[in-house]
Structure 1
Amino acid sequence: MKKVWYAIALLGLFLIISGCGKKAEPVAINEKTDTCAYCNMAIMDNQYATEVVLANNKTLKFDDLGCMYKWISENKDEKIQAKFVRDYNTKKWIEAEKATYVYGKSLKSPMSYNVVSFKNKNDAQSFAKKHNGTVLSYNDLDSHKWEQNKDMMKKMKGNM
């Protein structure tokens, strides 16, 4: 009987240890049901979607990078395991820390925070030059002023 309990304890320990090393991954966007965890707007499966994976493995989805950063600033006690953004060109998920960003007042994003992400820094620089934008690093995002472009929001609401 003692051997059975020993085996169960070892199996439990193995399961705990194997679960700890699992890397967070982004999840697919369901356009029919997914809404932004910050603004509650529908999330389209496009180059603007972002995700946060919490320490408890819960994934939060956002329609705009600005919404994700607004949520993070209002939920500082949450333990974040990973953040994911989409490459503007390919729409593929990338770790937020590995991306380069472009901010521009004339750029359009779902909630008018006007920041887009790129896997390749050269792509970001080229895009910024073409669209009169500013290149931002991942570290720059913490100090970026996350404000919506009010004029753009009015135009978008007028088209609804």
Structure 2
Amino acid sequence: MKSLRPLLIVATIVILIVVLFLSLASKQKMVTIMEGNIARQPIPIVLHHFQDSECGMVIDEISYASQVVAPDGKTWFFHDHGGMVKWLERKNFKKDAMIWVHSLDTQQWIDGRNAYYTRDEITPMEYGFGAYEHSSEERIDFE
């Protein structure tokens, strides 16, 4: 019986660790794509709960976040506008996509095609694009 005791203790600890990791994994369900956004409106992003649909990095800052909504309501999320643009270039629905970007000047989700951009921001993937609702001399448009 004494020789079984250490084995039972180790087995119990291993089982507890496995149960702990499984319960944490079920609570962490990260969002990379959402379906059913037929209204094609921006989805509220919960920081640390959404992942960039292209690179998989966790969206932990809203400042440079963007979303792309396909005509069928499928929505993808990005933590850097530059990565979103590169991703969108490869999609056959790019001209029909609704693009939402988070505006640095109004702190609102705005139409990415109507936004104005700077090219010298410090962004998560270092593309440098910051979106603004209002134009100024140093900002460029989407095209």
Structure 1 residue 121 corresponds to structure 2 residue 135: yes
Distance 1:33 1:46 in 2: 12
Structure 1 residue 67 corresponds to structure 2 residue 105: no
SS in 2 for 1:68: helix
After superposing on structure 2, the runs of 4+ consecutive aligned residues of structure 1 that deviate more than 6 Å are none
RMSD after superposition: 1.7
> 2:142 corresponds to which residue?
138
Cα deviation per residue 1:6-44 (whole Å; 9 max; x = unaligned)? xxxxxxxxxxxxxxxx64210010223210011111113
TM-score, normalising length from structure 1?
A: 0.60
Code of the residue aligned with 2:126 in structure 1: it is S
Structure 1 residue 78 corresponds to structure 2 residue 93: yes
Alignment of 1:5-20 (within 5 A): none
Residue among 76, 97, 103 paired with 1:87: 103
Code of the residue aligned with 2:142 in structure 1: it is Y
Structure 1 residue ranges without an equivalent (≥5): 1-21, 129-134, 140-160
Contact 2:105–2:134 (8 Å) recurs in 1: no
Higher helix fraction: Structure 1 or Structure 2?
1
The number of equivalent residue pairs is 105
Code of the residue aligned with 2:46 in structure 1: it is N
Code of the residue aligned with 1:137 in structure 2: it is D
Residue among 40, 46, 54 paired with 1:30: 46
- Identity over aligned pairs, percent: 26
TM-score, normalising length from structure 2?
A: 0.67
Residue among 46, 70, 73 paired with 1:54: 70
Distance 2:48 2:40 in 1: 24
Alignment of 1:100-111 (within 5 A): 100-104=116-120, 107-111=121-125
Code of the residue aligned with 2:108 in structure 1: it is K
SS in 1 for 2:72: coil
Give the Å deviation of 1:93. Answer: 0.3
Cα deviation per residue 1:40-69 (whole Å; 9 max; x = unaligned)? 111134210000001110110000001101
